[in-house]
Every structure is written in C-alpha cells, then in structure tokens.
Structure 1
Amino acid sequence: MNDAYEVVVIGGGAAGLSGALMLARSRRSVLVIDAGQPRNAPAEGIHGLLGREGMSPLELLARGREEVRGYGGEVEEGEVASVGRDGDGFAVRLADGRGVGAKRLLVTAGLVDELPPIPGLRERWGRDVVHCPYCHGWEIRDQAIGVLATGPMSVHQALLFSQLSDDVMFFANGQEVSAEQREQLVSRSVEIVTGEVEGLEIAGDRITGVRLDGKTVRREAIAVATRMVARAAFLADLGLKTVEHPTGMGEHIPADPTGRTEVAGVWAAGNVADLSAQVGSAAAAGALAGAQINADLVLNP
C-alpha cells in the first residue's frame, strides 16, 4: 500500500470493484480497501445478474478483485476507521493504524441489515429467512411462507411473495393493518395472523414454524423487511452522515444520479446510497461513479 492514490475506494463489493475497474482501466492509481463483510455472504448464490445467475457471492468478488488487479489497481483488506481532510484531498485512517492519502473518494461500504430481536431470525438469515422476492423468491417458491411485519414495506412484501406461493401468511406482530391493506392481502389469499411473534421453530437446518401466543404455526420460510443502515460512521469528520431514506426503509448517504455527494471530492455508490440496489444495479452505479471521478480528475487534477 502506497502513501497516496488518486482514488481510494472504501468497500470491495460489486459497486466498489466496478468503480475501481473503471478507474484502473483509465490508468488512475486506485486502492480498494475492503473490510471483508459483504452483505450477501450468507446467500448460496446471486440471482438476477445476467451471465452470473447462481454464482457464489464470494466467487464473484474474488473474480472482481483479480480483474481490478489485472489493470494495476490495488485491493487491500482492512477496515476504515476515519476519513479527514488533508489539504485539497483526504486522509484515510484504518483501524489497524495504517493511513493513506487520496485525491478523491468512492464510498461503497454497503449497509447493515438490522433484524428484529426475534429468536431464530439471525441464525437463518440469508437461508430460509429472506427479505427480497427477486433475490430469494424462486428458491422458496411453493413453500409455506410467513411474512413478518416490521414496517411500512411489509404488506407490499407479502403481496410480492404471494405471487410465488399459494400459502402465504402475514404475521402482523402488533402492527396495525389498515382496511385498505387488509383488502389487498385478502384479495391475494394472504391470511392475516394476529399476536406477538415469540420466535422461530427450527429443526436441524431448516425452519419448521413460527411461535406465537403459546402455539406454533407451520412455516417453511420467513420473509422480513429489515431496517437497512448504510455503513458510513467513518465519514463523520467530513460532515457527511446518513439520513433517513424517504421510504422509511432505513438510513443512506444522499447522492445525485452520478454518485456525487454533498461533500466535494466524495462519491457514493451501491447500497450505501441506494438501500434497495441489487448486485447488478450496485455494480452499474459503481461503474458510473468511477467514470465520473475520472472525468472530474481530468478537469481538476
């Protein structure tokens, strides 16, 4: 790792590696710092990504790292602790004490899924506890699916999963269901289950049911809308903080369509800026941001 680069990319997922690839191919000195905590690590495969359907998320990232390195880019393992101004550029400090300078930053650190504190959810997360019908719906098609209410998107989530199975239950879990929402659910043959969810029943390596009010309701898979919070605490010294997303899904870093943030010299792409971005759209956003950073360096070296 050198003392300084034209661009430091914080986060080595699909967005960060795609941005780094664009920059490296433009002959920019670029360093990717990756904490090794990909959001989709528990998943067996990536879905909806043309040409890479079903590929292991970790294999995709390994290929991406090699491609970036093949064009002279660098990829380093580490966790960024803080970022501060250093003249016209930035000083990036890692948790292990190492430091590096950058003219521009591309933030692609992703997000953290915050799950309700219900026993069993975290243990089965990314397997038979899922959040996205497009990422995991096919894999649990025709199963007995339970949708656990956690916020404003839960009813919509239940409606989407009802397209994939004729046996979907909506566990209200204390959340109020309006007359309009009830009509929507009933029209899709989604049964509404009241009462507080106490936990999941797990046998071996699979879910068998949902516990509530002293009974167990048989279910084979659970869909739950998490609260998604961008990983961005290390940007506090720059005055760049996460804000509530307009949908109520969580917190993100606001950025324009090119990835440019309100702090000069800092771009953001992937889930850190777009909470609902899948792998393909995250990669596309990272590539666009990389191209925009290169153009900015051409005009303002």
Structure 2
Amino acid sequence: MPLSAAIVSEKLDVVALELKENHPEAALLIWEAVAENNVLRATPYGAVACYEMGSQYEKEKQYAKAAEKYSQVPVEQSVTYKNKQGEIVENKIGARCAYNAAWAYFKTENWQAAAEAFMSIPPQANLMRGEDEVVAACCMARMLNQKEAVPANGISWAKAVELFQKNNNLDKIKGDGEYLIDYARSLAGLSAENDPAATARVAELRDAALDVYLSIAEQDPRVHLAVQARIAAAELFLQKEDYRAGMLELRRAIEHCDQTEGRDGEIVDAEKVKLERALALKRLEEICNDPNAGEVAGVAKRLLQRYQNAP
C-alpha cells in the first residue's frame, strides 16, 4: 500500500533537517521538491517546506519569491512535532507564513497584498506587535490612497487610524515623516468617508491631518516628503474650499523643490522631488480652472506661468 502524502512529506522533512547543517543545498533541494509538488504541498510538512523556501528567498533578498512561497500556506495550517523533551507541540505555521508574507510584500511595495496578509493573521497567534500594526496601517493607507484598489478583509481608513492610534504606536513613529504622512492620509481619508462614526468628526479629523502634514513639511529633512506633505495639506485646504491657503501651500511646495541646493541637513532625492514638483503644478492648475476659486484663480494662474517657465 503506498504511503500517504502526509507521511511522505514528513519523512522528507526529517531527511532535509538531517542534511541542513552540513549539506544545506541538498536540504533546500528536498524542500523545494516538496513545495513544488501540489499533493505534498497541501500537507502539514508541505507547509514546512514552503516556509523553509520562503526563508531562503528572504535571505537572498528575493522578497517577491519569498512572499509567493509563504502565501501558498493556508493561514489556518498547523503542524505538530515532538520537541527535545519529547512533548507534542503544535506550531501555527500558517499564521507565521502570513506574517512573513506580509513583510515580504511590504518590501516589494505591494501594499494591497501586504495589508491583506497582515489582516489575515488571527489575533490569537499573538504575532502582531506595535511596529507590525504601524506597518499594516501604512500599507492600508498606501493601498487606499491608490484608489484603484478595492478594500477587502476589513481594510479601511477607520482600521488604519485605529492601528496607528492603538496603545503607544504614535509615539513609536514620532518624527518619522514617512509613517506620519500615512497617518495623516488615514485621518484625511476617514474624514471623507461616508462613515457615520466619522461624519460628526470631519472637521476634527481634517484639522488633525493638517497638523501632521504641516509638522512634516517643517521638520522632515527629506525634501520629497516635506513637499509631499505640503501638497497633501494643500489638497485638504482645497477640500475645505480654502483656495488661498491651498495655493499658498502649493507655492511653498514648489519653492522648496526649487531651492534645495545648499540647504544644510536636507536629503534630496532629485527624481522624487521632480515628481512632487510636477504634482504641485498640476494641483495649482486645478485651482486656475476651478470656477469656485474666484480671484485666487487669477493669482494661481500667474504663479503657474512663473513656475512653468522657471529654468
């Protein structure tokens, strides 16, 4: 009678573990063969093989391949084994693979896949720490900010805000413009949602987002982030129909882009600064064409001409 797939994959795992220390390449060949076999991969030790291959790809900084391999393991998958004391132990390997996949997706900037992987991790797995919650919230904010992504698995602006504000997570990201801009985006996004819980707090949420954006603009040494924050602040002012304040923030953003040379302590990523400047000009042009902007539209038009003609 042929051995079942579960027994085969377990026996192959034992062989791979014996080889791992002195012949790691041979061990990886075994795990790779198991992970690539549809029947063996569906077994508990098939999940172990996927985990081992994902770990290897991570070591090689092949994060897309690592994420793909981790994602082949169902989040509810577990494997039992005997520890050194002879006790039977259950390893929630599916939850661990989901966690590792989330971080691997984050490193490839696949925000939607990362957010969904983080959200799939069961709370009882006790894997999510403060840093993980912040990164999950950032992924949600970036995914939702792309607009073409469809929210799924409980992903929302409200959930992102909840994760940012949980425990002392905001203290952990104090002074980090890259994370703070995602927090501000989440506040602004929540203020624009048709969420009954958010409707009564629209002004409060927008003001909180503005405070964060403007603090990044004044304090973050990375020029493209400071400029990005000013543009986001301008967009909020425009939502409030405060066209003058929006125009002023766009002007400051463009002038910051144009006056970076020689500023002490600033970090300039020329390509990103160029992209942000183009976005600021686009937003300025929108004010020019907005029938509700009144006399501000005329001023914006003159600014636009000046900045478009700048060397």
Q: TM-score, normalised by structure 1?
A: 0.25
Q: Which of the pair is proportionally richer in strand? A: 1
Q: TM-score, normalised by structure 2?
A: 0.24
Q: Which of the pair is proportionally richer in helix? A: 2
Q: Give the number of the structure whose alpha-carbon radius of gyration is greater.
A: 2
